[in-house]
A and B are shown apart, each in its own frame.
Chain A
């Protein structure tokens, strides 16, 4: 089964260590909310803003989720110190999109995918399936690996922070982008490569239609 999606707008960001300005102060003016945001949450908010998305279903993906919060908790346990409840509440894989939903009072369905290296592909498949119900919605991936001593396990990712967002809807038109032959940036985590490549490839001068094979 193949399902076609139109990409209405897209955005992507990455950095070797830390993305510099995510416009968080402007996008989240209330400090008591802003101070709790994880890096992934700030990236999700930035990306959603760039594709002008506030209301609707969200399919989100991350292979390693909230690694910084997770690492904090592990260290606290190992040192027999108290676990920060903020870090614990921020350690679930759906943290970033939960904060996004709170910011926009978006009460729609939000699904979080975590399928390792194939996370982007699975977000796309889930998105294509959900698109059959109609409407415009957001596909989003982030990976935030910037923790102390990450080099002890990281042997391949040159970019420790990366993310991409696509605002999409169902399409019946002829595809203009071939997912199968789209070149991807191998310096990014495998989990974000496909959506990042799509976000970087779209043209503003024509329709951007892809075909997703289930």
Chain B
């Protein structure tokens, strides 16, 4: 099981979120759009790359993006469910 803290650090490193620490990222906050972290579509691709590199989990179906990427909690759940 990947911890929330270590996953948030992977997210911070992959997306170059300067000066952010895992404590700054809420589990339920949306990742995309101005309400959340303010990420964009390029970030979603970077995240997919990072998740494959770090955890070996491929996200190939882009129609799933909306649900998986809706929050850190949902994304981490997906990774933990699909990690070998």
Contacts and interface: CB of A to CB of B under 8 A. Distances in A.
Direct contact, A vs B (beta carbon within 8 Å): yes
Interface of A: 31-32, 34-36, 81-82, 84-86, 89
B46 A34 contact: no
Interface in B19-43: 19-20, 37-39, 42
B31 to A, nearest CB: 11
Interface residues of B, number: 15
Nearest to B40: A32
Contact of B16 (A35, A81, A89): A35
A111 to B, nearest CB: 25
Given A35-B16, A35-B17, A86-B46, A81 B38 contact: no
A86 B42 contact: yes
Q: Which secondary structure dominates where chain A touches chain B?
A: helix
A25 B3 CA distance: 31
B15 interface: yes
A82 B49 contact: yes
B5 interface: no
Among B19, B39, B49, B52, max chain A CB count under 10 A is at: B49
Contacts of B2: none
A81 B53 contact: yes
A82 B37 contact: no
Among A34, A81, A86, max chain B CB count under 10 A is at: A86
Nearest to A81: B53
Nearest to B12: A35
Nearest to B38: A32
Given A31-B19, A35-B16, A85 B53 contact: no
Given A31-B19, A34-B18, A89-B42, 12 more contacts: A31-B17, A31-B18, A31-B20, A32-B37, A81-B53, A82-B52, A82-B53, A84-B49, A85-B45, A85-B46, A86-B16, A86-B42
B12 to A, nearest CB: 10
Contacts of A32: 17, 37-39
19 contacts: A31-B17, A31-B18, A31-B19, A32-B17, A32-B37, A32-B38, A32-B39, A34-B18, A35-B15, A35-B16, A35-B17, A36-B16, A81-B53, A82-B49, A84-B46, A85-B46, A86-B16, A86-B42, A86-B46
B42 A85 contact: yes
A193 B38 CA distance: 40
A92 to B, nearest CB: 14
A32 B52 CA distance: 23
